[in-house]
Chains A and B, each alone.
Chain A
Amino acid sequence: MSSPEKLQKAIKVIAQLSIDTASRTFSKLIKSGATIDLERAFMADISEVTRIFSGSEDEVVGAYVDLVGEAPFTFLFFVSAPDSLTLTDLMLRREVGTTREFDLYAKSAVQEIGNVLASAIVNVFSRDFGIAMKPTPPAVTRDYVGTVFEEYIVKSAGELNELFVMESRFCVVQFDIKCHMFIVPLPGSDEILQSVLESPNMKEYY
Protein backbone atom coordinates (compact mmCIF):
# COMPACT_ATOMS: atom_id res chain seq x y z
CA MET A 1 0.00 0.00 0.00
CA SER A 2 1.50 3.35 -1.00
CA SER A 3 1.83 6.21 1.45
CA PRO A 4 -1.14 8.28 0.16
CA GLU A 5 -3.32 5.18 0.32
CA LYS A 6 -2.17 4.52 3.87
CA LEU A 7 -2.98 8.07 4.84
CA GLN A 8 -6.43 7.77 3.34
CA LYS A 9 -6.93 4.57 5.29
CA ALA A 10 -5.83 6.36 8.49
CA ILE A 11 -8.28 9.18 7.85
CA LYS A 12 -11.07 6.71 7.17
CA VAL A 13 -10.42 4.92 10.45
CA ILE A 14 -10.38 8.20 12.36
CA ALA A 15 -13.59 9.19 10.62
CA GLN A 16 -15.27 5.91 11.49
CA LEU A 17 -14.24 6.19 15.14
CA SER A 18 -15.42 9.80 15.19
CA ILE A 19 -18.72 8.85 13.67
CA ASP A 20 -19.32 6.20 16.32
CA THR A 21 -18.59 8.72 19.07
CA ALA A 22 -20.69 11.36 17.37
CA SER A 23 -23.65 8.97 16.95
CA ARG A 24 -23.76 8.23 20.66
CA THR A 25 -23.36 11.87 21.68
CA PHE A 26 -25.93 13.06 19.19
CA SER A 27 -28.49 10.40 20.17
CA LYS A 28 -28.21 11.53 23.78
CA LEU A 29 -28.51 15.17 22.79
CA ILE A 30 -31.78 14.77 20.91
CA LYS A 31 -33.06 11.82 22.96
CA SER A 32 -33.81 9.92 19.79
CA GLY A 33 -32.07 7.12 17.94
CA ALA A 34 -29.51 8.38 15.47
CA THR A 35 -27.32 6.35 13.18
CA ILE A 36 -24.34 7.69 11.31
CA ASP A 37 -22.68 5.86 8.44
CA LEU A 38 -19.58 6.60 6.46
CA GLU A 39 -21.17 6.89 3.04
CA ARG A 40 -18.09 7.37 0.91
CA ALA A 41 -14.51 8.48 1.11
CA PHE A 42 -12.71 9.49 -2.01
CA MET A 43 -9.99 11.62 -3.49
CA ALA A 44 -11.62 14.04 -5.88
CA ASP A 45 -10.79 16.93 -8.13
CA ILE A 46 -12.34 20.14 -6.74
CA SER A 47 -14.38 20.65 -9.94
CA GLU A 48 -15.71 17.12 -9.87
CA VAL A 49 -16.72 17.27 -6.22
CA THR A 50 -18.56 20.60 -6.51
CA ARG A 51 -20.42 19.41 -9.60
CA ILE A 52 -22.32 16.99 -7.33
CA PHE A 53 -24.48 19.82 -5.98
CA SER A 54 -24.05 22.38 -8.75
CA GLY A 55 -27.27 23.96 -9.93
CA SER A 56 -29.44 22.35 -7.26
CA GLU A 57 -32.24 24.46 -5.83
CA ASP A 58 -32.21 22.54 -2.55
CA GLU A 59 -32.01 24.78 0.47
CA VAL A 60 -29.83 23.68 3.36
CA VAL A 61 -28.45 24.91 6.64
CA GLY A 62 -24.75 24.28 7.11
CA ALA A 63 -22.27 24.60 9.94
CA TYR A 64 -18.60 25.04 9.13
CA VAL A 65 -15.96 24.20 11.71
CA ASP A 66 -12.20 24.39 11.43
CA LEU A 67 -10.40 21.75 13.46
CA VAL A 68 -7.14 23.43 14.32
CA GLY A 69 -4.05 21.98 15.92
CA GLU A 70 -1.49 19.34 15.00
CA ALA A 71 -3.57 17.82 12.19
CA PRO A 72 -5.76 20.55 10.69
CA PHE A 73 -9.04 19.56 9.09
CA THR A 74 -12.15 21.38 7.95
CA PHE A 75 -15.56 20.05 8.80
CA LEU A 76 -18.97 20.72 7.28
CA PHE A 77 -22.33 19.54 8.51
CA PHE A 78 -25.49 20.32 6.60
CA VAL A 79 -29.14 19.40 6.71
CA SER A 80 -32.10 20.38 4.53
CA ALA A 81 -33.85 23.54 5.69
CA PRO A 82 -37.12 21.75 6.69
CA ASP A 83 -35.18 19.08 8.58
CA SER A 84 -33.22 21.75 10.46
CA LEU A 85 -36.54 22.85 11.99
CA THR A 86 -37.28 19.31 13.17
CA LEU A 87 -33.79 19.04 14.64
CA THR A 88 -34.33 22.33 16.46
CA ASP A 89 -37.46 20.96 18.13
CA LEU A 90 -35.67 17.74 19.06
CA MET A 91 -32.76 19.70 20.51
CA LEU A 92 -35.05 21.97 22.48
CA ARG A 93 -37.17 19.00 23.62
CA ARG A 94 -40.38 20.40 22.31
CA GLU A 95 -43.06 19.00 20.08
CA VAL A 96 -41.86 18.49 16.52
CA GLY A 97 -43.55 21.09 14.32
CA THR A 98 -43.23 23.91 16.83
CA THR A 99 -40.38 25.60 14.97
CA ARG A 100 -41.79 26.92 11.69
CA GLU A 101 -39.09 29.21 10.41
CA PHE A 102 -35.32 29.47 10.44
CA ASP A 103 -34.92 31.76 13.42
CA LEU A 104 -32.24 32.34 16.02
CA TYR A 105 -33.16 29.11 17.81
CA ALA A 106 -32.81 27.08 14.64
CA LYS A 107 -29.49 28.72 13.86
CA SER A 108 -28.24 28.00 17.37
CA ALA A 109 -29.42 24.38 17.15
CA VAL A 110 -27.48 23.75 13.94
CA GLN A 111 -24.49 25.55 15.40
CA GLU A 112 -24.63 23.30 18.45
CA ILE A 113 -24.92 20.14 16.35
CA GLY A 114 -21.88 21.24 14.34
CA ASN A 115 -20.05 21.83 17.57
CA VAL A 116 -21.00 18.45 19.05
CA LEU A 117 -20.01 16.53 15.93
CA ALA A 118 -16.74 18.40 15.49
CA SER A 119 -15.92 17.88 19.15
CA ALA A 120 -16.51 14.15 18.74
CA ILE A 121 -13.89 14.09 16.00
CA VAL A 122 -11.48 16.10 18.10
CA ASN A 123 -12.00 13.72 21.02
CA VAL A 124 -11.05 10.74 18.88
CA PHE A 125 -7.87 12.50 17.73
CA SER A 126 -6.97 13.28 21.30
CA ARG A 127 -8.14 10.14 23.15
CA ASP A 128 -7.10 7.47 20.68
CA PHE A 129 -4.10 9.00 18.99
CA GLY A 130 -2.77 11.72 21.30
CA ILE A 131 -3.16 14.45 18.70
CA ALA A 132 -3.93 17.87 20.15
CA MET A 133 -6.81 19.53 18.30
CA LYS A 134 -9.58 21.95 19.02
CA PRO A 135 -12.66 23.05 17.08
CA THR A 136 -13.28 26.71 16.23
CA PRO A 137 -16.78 28.12 16.84
CA PRO A 138 -19.08 26.95 14.02
CA ALA A 139 -20.10 29.42 11.33
CA VAL A 140 -23.70 28.78 10.24
CA THR A 141 -25.36 29.73 6.99
CA ARG A 142 -28.57 28.95 5.13
CA ASP A 143 -28.37 28.91 1.37
CA TYR A 144 -28.46 26.73 -1.74
CA VAL A 145 -26.71 23.41 -1.17
CA GLY A 146 -24.36 24.21 -4.06
CA THR A 147 -23.38 27.52 -2.47
CA VAL A 148 -22.89 26.04 1.01
CA PHE A 149 -20.70 23.30 -0.42
CA GLU A 150 -18.81 25.71 -2.69
CA GLU A 151 -17.86 27.91 0.23
CA TYR A 152 -16.64 24.84 2.08
CA ILE A 153 -14.39 23.91 -0.83
CA VAL A 154 -13.13 27.50 -1.14
CA LYS A 155 -12.24 27.39 2.55
CA SER A 156 -10.60 23.99 2.28
CA ALA A 157 -8.89 23.92 -1.09
CA GLY A 158 -6.44 26.84 -0.90
CA GLU A 159 -3.69 25.83 -3.25
CA LEU A 160 -4.97 22.26 -3.60
CA ASN A 161 -6.62 20.95 -6.74
CA GLU A 162 -7.65 17.63 -5.26
CA LEU A 163 -9.20 16.91 -1.90
CA PHE A 164 -9.72 13.78 0.11
CA VAL A 165 -13.39 14.01 0.99
CA MET A 166 -15.35 11.89 3.40
CA GLU A 167 -19.09 12.05 3.31
CA SER A 168 -21.23 10.63 6.07
CA ARG A 169 -24.97 10.60 6.37
CA PHE A 170 -26.84 10.27 9.54
CA CYS A 171 -30.43 9.48 10.08
CA VAL A 172 -32.61 10.37 13.01
CA VAL A 173 -34.59 7.20 12.67
CA GLN A 174 -37.93 8.25 14.05
CA PHE A 175 -38.17 11.28 11.77
CA ASP A 176 -36.20 10.13 8.72
CA ILE A 177 -33.86 13.11 8.82
CA LYS A 178 -30.84 12.80 6.61
CA CYS A 179 -27.83 14.97 7.23
CA HIS A 180 -24.43 15.17 5.57
CA MET A 181 -21.01 15.59 7.07
CA PHE A 182 -17.78 16.23 5.23
CA ILE A 183 -14.23 16.17 6.54
CA VAL A 184 -11.27 17.39 4.53
CA PRO A 185 -7.67 17.16 5.76
CA LEU A 186 -5.65 20.31 5.16
CA PRO A 187 -1.98 20.63 4.24
CA GLY A 188 0.10 20.07 7.35
CA SER A 189 -1.92 17.14 8.64
CA ASP A 190 -0.03 14.55 6.55
CA GLU A 191 2.96 14.27 8.84
CA ILE A 192 0.86 13.79 11.97
CA LEU A 193 -1.41 11.29 10.25
CA GLN A 194 1.69 9.36 9.24
CA SER A 195 2.55 8.99 12.93
CA VAL A 196 -1.01 7.87 13.62
CA LEU A 197 -0.42 4.97 11.27
CA GLU A 198 2.24 3.65 13.61
CA SER A 199 0.11 3.85 16.74
CA PRO A 200 -1.12 0.59 18.36
CA ASN A 201 -4.72 1.80 18.10
CA MET A 202 -4.42 2.06 14.35
CA LYS A 203 -2.72 -1.28 13.75
CA GLU A 204 -5.79 -3.23 14.82
CA TYR A 205 -7.65 -1.84 11.81
CA TYR A 206 -5.22 -3.29 9.25
Chain B
Amino acid sequence: MRIIAVGIAEIKVVQPPALLRTNLGSCIAVCLYDPATATGGLLHFMMPQAPNASAVCKVAKYGDTGINELVEEVKRVAHVKSCSGFVAKIFGGARVLQNINSEIGSNNEEAARRILKELGIPITTSQTGGDRGYKIEFDVGTGIIRCQRFGEEAKEY
Protein backbone atom coordinates (compact mmCIF):
# COMPACT_ATOMS: atom_id res chain seq x y z
CA MET B 1 0.00 0.00 0.00
CA ARG B 2 1.20 3.51 -0.75
CA ILE B 3 1.96 5.51 2.37
CA ILE B 4 1.74 9.21 1.72
CA ALA B 5 3.04 11.74 4.24
CA VAL B 6 1.07 14.96 4.42
CA GLY B 7 2.99 18.03 5.56
CA ILE B 8 1.71 21.22 7.09
CA ALA B 9 -0.38 23.40 4.74
CA GLU B 10 -0.85 20.55 2.35
CA ILE B 11 -3.72 18.63 0.71
CA LYS B 12 -3.47 15.08 -0.59
CA VAL B 13 -6.37 13.36 -2.33
CA VAL B 14 -6.09 9.74 -3.43
CA GLN B 15 -7.95 6.56 -4.23
CA PRO B 16 -7.10 3.14 -2.76
CA PRO B 17 -4.89 1.45 -2.00
CA ALA B 18 -3.29 4.27 -0.05
CA LEU B 19 -2.67 5.45 3.48
CA LEU B 20 -2.49 9.17 4.24
CA ARG B 21 -0.40 9.90 7.27
CA THR B 22 0.40 12.98 9.32
CA ASN B 23 1.28 14.31 12.78
CA LEU B 24 -0.61 17.13 14.42
CA GLY B 25 -0.25 19.58 17.25
CA SER B 26 -2.28 22.76 17.09
CA CYS B 27 -3.03 22.19 13.40
CA ILE B 28 -6.19 20.44 12.25
CA ALA B 29 -6.48 17.49 9.87
CA VAL B 30 -9.73 17.41 7.93
CA CYS B 31 -10.24 13.94 6.49
CA LEU B 32 -12.83 14.05 3.75
CA TYR B 33 -14.26 10.87 2.29
CA ASP B 34 -16.58 10.03 -0.55
CA PRO B 35 -17.84 6.50 0.26
CA ALA B 36 -19.44 6.09 -3.17
CA THR B 37 -16.14 6.31 -5.02
CA ALA B 38 -13.75 5.48 -2.16
CA THR B 39 -11.96 8.76 -2.65
CA GLY B 40 -10.27 10.29 0.35
CA GLY B 41 -8.47 13.52 1.02
CA LEU B 42 -6.57 14.98 3.93
CA LEU B 43 -6.03 18.67 4.57
CA HIS B 44 -3.49 19.68 7.23
CA PHE B 45 -4.11 23.33 7.93
CA MET B 46 -2.26 25.65 10.25
CA MET B 47 -4.40 28.75 10.86
CA PRO B 48 -8.15 29.31 10.88
CA GLN B 49 -8.49 32.10 8.38
CA ALA B 50 -6.55 33.58 5.52
CA PRO B 51 -5.75 37.28 6.03
CA ASN B 52 -6.79 38.02 2.45
CA ALA B 53 -8.40 34.98 0.87
CA SER B 54 -8.19 36.27 -2.71
CA ALA B 55 -4.42 36.82 -2.46
CA VAL B 56 -3.43 33.56 -0.77
CA CYS B 57 -0.90 31.52 -2.71
CA LYS B 58 -0.82 28.59 -0.31
CA VAL B 59 -4.49 27.88 0.24
CA ALA B 60 -3.98 24.76 2.35
CA LYS B 61 -2.36 26.80 5.10
CA TYR B 62 -5.73 28.19 6.20
CA GLY B 63 -8.98 26.54 7.23
CA ASP B 64 -11.28 28.70 5.13
CA THR B 65 -9.42 28.46 1.84
CA GLY B 66 -8.05 24.96 2.51
CA ILE B 67 -11.35 23.19 3.20
CA ASN B 68 -12.91 24.62 0.05
CA GLU B 69 -9.92 23.49 -1.96
CA LEU B 70 -10.05 20.01 -0.37
CA VAL B 71 -13.71 19.62 -1.33
CA GLU B 72 -13.01 20.69 -4.92
CA GLU B 73 -10.04 18.33 -5.16
CA VAL B 74 -12.03 15.33 -3.86
CA LYS B 75 -14.81 16.14 -6.33
CA ARG B 76 -12.28 16.31 -9.15
CA VAL B 77 -10.57 13.00 -8.31
CA ALA B 78 -13.90 11.25 -7.62
CA HIS B 79 -15.40 12.66 -10.85
CA VAL B 80 -18.50 13.91 -9.06
CA LYS B 81 -20.22 17.26 -9.31
CA SER B 82 -21.60 17.52 -5.80
CA CYS B 83 -20.25 16.94 -2.32
CA SER B 84 -23.65 15.72 -1.07
CA GLY B 85 -22.43 12.25 -0.07
CA PHE B 86 -19.16 13.35 1.48
CA VAL B 87 -18.37 12.84 5.17
CA ALA B 88 -15.67 14.48 7.26
CA LYS B 89 -13.64 13.55 10.31
CA ILE B 90 -11.48 16.08 12.11
CA PHE B 91 -8.47 15.67 14.39
CA GLY B 92 -5.92 17.85 16.16
CA GLY B 93 -6.22 21.35 17.57
CA ALA B 94 -4.16 20.52 20.64
CA ARG B 95 -2.43 22.95 22.94
CA VAL B 96 0.95 21.27 23.03
CA LEU B 97 2.93 24.24 24.30
CA GLN B 98 1.19 25.69 27.29
CA ASN B 99 2.58 29.18 26.99
CA ILE B 100 2.77 29.47 23.22
CA ASN B 101 0.14 29.41 20.47
CA SER B 102 -2.43 29.06 23.23
CA GLU B 103 -5.57 29.73 21.19
CA ILE B 104 -4.52 28.53 17.74
CA GLY B 105 -5.69 24.95 18.27
CA SER B 106 -9.18 25.81 19.46
CA ASN B 107 -9.55 28.52 16.81
CA ASN B 108 -8.57 26.00 14.13
CA GLU B 109 -11.11 23.50 15.38
CA GLU B 110 -13.86 26.09 15.50
CA ALA B 111 -13.07 27.18 11.94
CA ALA B 112 -13.14 23.60 10.64
CA ARG B 113 -16.53 22.90 12.24
CA ARG B 114 -18.04 26.15 10.98
CA ILE B 115 -16.81 25.81 7.39
CA LEU B 116 -17.86 22.17 7.05
CA LYS B 117 -21.28 23.06 8.41
CA GLU B 118 -21.60 25.87 5.88
CA LEU B 119 -20.75 23.40 3.12
CA GLY B 120 -23.33 20.91 4.42
CA ILE B 121 -20.73 18.21 5.05
CA PRO B 122 -21.40 16.21 8.23
CA ILE B 123 -18.60 15.58 10.72
CA THR B 124 -19.13 11.95 11.62
CA THR B 125 -16.41 11.82 14.25
CA SER B 126 -13.70 13.96 15.78
CA GLN B 127 -10.85 13.78 18.25
CA THR B 128 -9.65 17.24 19.11
CA GLY B 129 -8.08 19.40 21.81
CA GLY B 130 -5.99 18.26 24.74
CA ASP B 131 -2.33 18.99 25.35
CA ARG B 132 -0.71 16.20 23.35
CA GLY B 133 0.09 15.61 19.71
CA TYR B 134 -1.71 13.23 17.36
CA LYS B 135 -0.62 10.70 14.78
CA ILE B 136 -3.21 10.10 12.07
CA GLU B 137 -3.43 7.33 9.47
CA PHE B 138 -6.27 7.51 6.97
CA ASP B 139 -6.91 4.27 5.07
CA VAL B 140 -8.59 5.48 1.92
CA GLY B 141 -9.75 1.98 1.04
CA THR B 142 -12.02 1.71 4.07
CA GLY B 143 -12.42 5.33 5.16
CA ILE B 144 -11.19 4.28 8.61
CA ILE B 145 -8.84 6.56 10.46
CA ARG B 146 -6.39 5.33 13.05
CA CYS B 147 -5.70 8.09 15.53
CA GLN B 148 -3.15 7.86 18.29
CA ARG B 149 -2.79 10.63 20.79
CA PHE B 150 0.71 10.81 22.24
CA GLY B 151 1.05 8.48 25.24
CA GLU B 152 -2.30 6.75 24.60
CA GLU B 153 -3.54 3.69 22.76
CA ALA B 154 -4.49 4.12 19.12
CA LYS B 155 -8.21 4.24 18.30
CA GLU B 156 -10.03 3.67 15.04
CA TYR B 157 -12.70 6.07 13.83
Within 8 Å CB of A59, what residues of B?
A: 150
Interface centre among B23, B60, B97, by most A CB within 10 Å? Answer: B23
Assuming the A-B contacts A47-B10, A153-B8, A161-B58, are A55 and B24 also in contact, with contact meaning beta carbons closer than 8 angstroms in the complex?
A: no
Q: A54-B23, A146-B133 are in contact. Are A151 and B101 (CB under 8 A)?
A: yes
Tell me the minimal C-beta distance from A54 to chain B in angstroms. Answer: 4
Give the CA-CA distance A56 to B148 in the complex, in Å: 12
**How far, in angstroms, from A152 to B42 measured CA to CA in the complex?**
21
Q: B65 within 8 Å of A by Cβ?
A: no
**B36 contacts the other chain (Cβ, under 8 Å)?**
no
Near A by CB (< 8 A), chain B positions 1-22 give: 3, 5-10, 21-22
Q: Are A155 and B101 in contact (CB under 8 A)?
A: yes
Q: Which of A56, A145, A147, A154 contacts B134 (CB 8 A)?
A: A147
Residues from chain A with a CB closer than 8 A to the CB of B7 are 46-51, 54
List residues of chain A with CB within 8 A of the CB of B71. Answer: none
A159 to B61, CA, bound (A): 10
Cβ-closest chain A residue relative to B150? A143
Partner of B104, one of A139, A144, A154: A154
Q: Which residue of A51, A56, A161 contacts B6 across the interface (Cβ within 8 Å)? A: A51
Q: Is B22 a contact partner of A54 (Cβ separation < 8 A)? A: yes
Size bin of chain A's contact surface = 20 to 34
The complex places the Cα of A141 from the Cα of B25 at a distance, in Å, of 11
Q: Which residue of B lies closest to A59 (CB)?
A: B150
Is A191's CB within 8 Å of the partner chain B? Answer: no
Count chain B residues whose beta carbon lies closer than 8 angstroms to a beta carbon of A. Answer: 34
Q: Is the CB of B101 within 8 A of A154?
A: yes
* A55, B104: Cα distance in complex, Å: 21
Contact residues in B for A55 (Cβ distance below 8 Å): 3, 5, 21-23, 135, 137
- Give the residues from 120 to 138 in chain B that come closer than 8 angstroms, CB to CB, to chain A: 132-135, 137
Main secondary structure of the interface of A (DSSP, over half): helix
Contact A57–B135 (Cβ < 8 Å) = yes
Nearest CB of chain B from residue A99's CB, rounded to whole Å: 18
Known: A55-B22, A144-B150, A150-B27. A64 touches B10 (CB 8 A): no
* Docked CA distance A153–B132 (Å): 17
Q: Counting CB contacts under 8 A, is B106 at the interface? A: no
Q: When chains A and B are docked, how far (Å) is the Cα of A193 from the Cα of B100?
A: 26
Q: How far is the CA of A45 from the CA of B60 in the complex (A)?
A: 13
Q: Give Cα A47 to B43, complex, Å.
A: 11
**B46 on the A face (CB < 8 A):** yes
Q: Is the CB of A151 within 8 A of B5?
A: no
Binding site for A on B (CB under 8 A): 3, 5-10, 21-27, 46, 51, 57-58, 60-61, 94, 96-101, 104, 132-135, 137, 150
List residues of chain A with CB under 8 Å of any chain B CB.
46-51, 53-57, 59, 64, 139, 141-151, 153-155, 157, 159, 161
